[in-house]
Amino acid sequence: MRMRAAARALAAAGALLACAAAPLARAADGGGWSLGPAGSARPSLYAEGAPGAVLEDKVSVTNRSAWPRTVTLRGTGPDGIGAWLAFARRKVTVPPRTRADVPFTVAVPRGAAPGDRSGAVVARGGGRDARVPLRLRVAGPALAALTVERVRLDADAERITYELVNRGTTVLAPRVAVRADGVFGELLDRAPHRVPVRVAPGSRVALSEPWPGVPSFDAVDVRLTATAAGGVRAEGSASARLVPWPAAAGAGAGAVAAGVAAWCAVRHVVRRRRRDAGPPAETTAAAEPETTAAAKTTAEPEITAAAEAAAEREPTATGTGGKP
């Protein structure tokens, strides 16, 4: 009896252990696959070629579990590098305890600037991601060039905004110095310091510098100087006229009102003086000749009538002057 009871207890314990082990096996299977470069034990993928070249390589998906695994592959990276990658198969199903090598290509655009790029091959499956770094070098002469553009003083935000543009073929880690001068001299002098970004070839990065205590009334000239390895030096500048507009608007309105009032007062005085003085002298002098001419015209008919009456009373001589 005791033997049978013991056997039943062992059987029950075995069943419980089997039930508990099944979930553990499935959980462990979640990490039962991996991704890496094909072939030798390389830590990352590397490709090098000129603009327009198509480079080839492979990645390996290894399934160490007892069940098939399906993963999806894609490329990723800044400046659209992920779109340069094309896989022989994007979705790969790997049998248990098997490794699948998947070829892919990197098509370097013809207009790509020479220099180093970085990206990755990413695989997703079983609710997780795995990635392999990809380093890409586009062949060509190394050129370090940088410009500082769109410098602007935002007085309300107390910040100086600007953009760094990498015009060369190498990745740059710039340092930036800031200086600002007003009407009466220096307002800000910030020593060169490293900005928190690395600027890739052909990329544009927007940055800003805080400036607590920006003056509210001044004429400010801002100059930024960027430097980087390879003898890079670039400058950008901006000017701003800082005016407290509410106060200026009030003062301007008062000046305009005072000017209008003064003009009205002067106009009123001039009108009153003209009214008191009467018509101007030139007008009276011009009227006198007209009056004399009128009187002369009226008297002329009277003189002509008197002459005609006198002529009728006197005899008129006729003949040639001889005796009658």
Walk along the chain (324 residues) and give the pLDDT tens digit of each residue.
444 554 454 444 444 333 443 333 333 344 689 999 998 788 999 999 999 999 999 999 999 999 999 999 999 998 789 999 999 999 999 999 999 999 999 999 988 888 888 999 999 998 999 999 999 999 988 889 999 999 999 999 999 999 999 998 888 999 999 999 999 999 999 999 999 999 988 889 999 999 999 998 999 999 999 999 989 999 999 999 998 755 555 545 455 445 545 544 555 455 556 556 665 554 444 444 444 444 444 444 444 454 454 444 444 443 434 433
pLDDT at 246: 59
Using CA atoms, how far apart are residues 77 and 118, in angstroms rounded to an integer?
Answer: 6
pLDDT at 112: 85
Bridge partner residues of 54 (DSSP): 107
Whether the CB-CB separation of 113 and 138 falls below 8 Å is answered with: yes
How far apart are the C-alpha atoms of 88 and 128, rounded to whole Å? 22
Q: What is the 3-state secondary structure (H, E, C) of 296-312?
A: HHHHHHHHHHHHHHHHH
CA distance 53 to 84: 11
Measure the CA–CA gap between 205 and 152, rounded to whole angstroms: 15
196 close to 145: Cβ distance less than 8 angstroms: no
Strand partners, 288: none
Q: Looking at residue 318, what is its pLDDT?
A: 39
Rounded Cα gap, residues 122 and 130, in angstroms = 6
* Cα 233 from chain centroid (whole Å): 23
Which of 131, 165, 35, 137 lies closest to 81 in space, CA to CA? 137
pTM score of the predicted model: 0.48
User: What per-residue confidence (pLDDT) applies to 25?
Assistant: 35
Rounded to 10 degrees, the C-alpha dihedral 7/13/14/20 comes to: 170
State the alpha helices, DSSP H only, in the chain.
2-29, 245-277, 281-313
- C-alpha 8/C-alpha 16 separation (Å) is 13
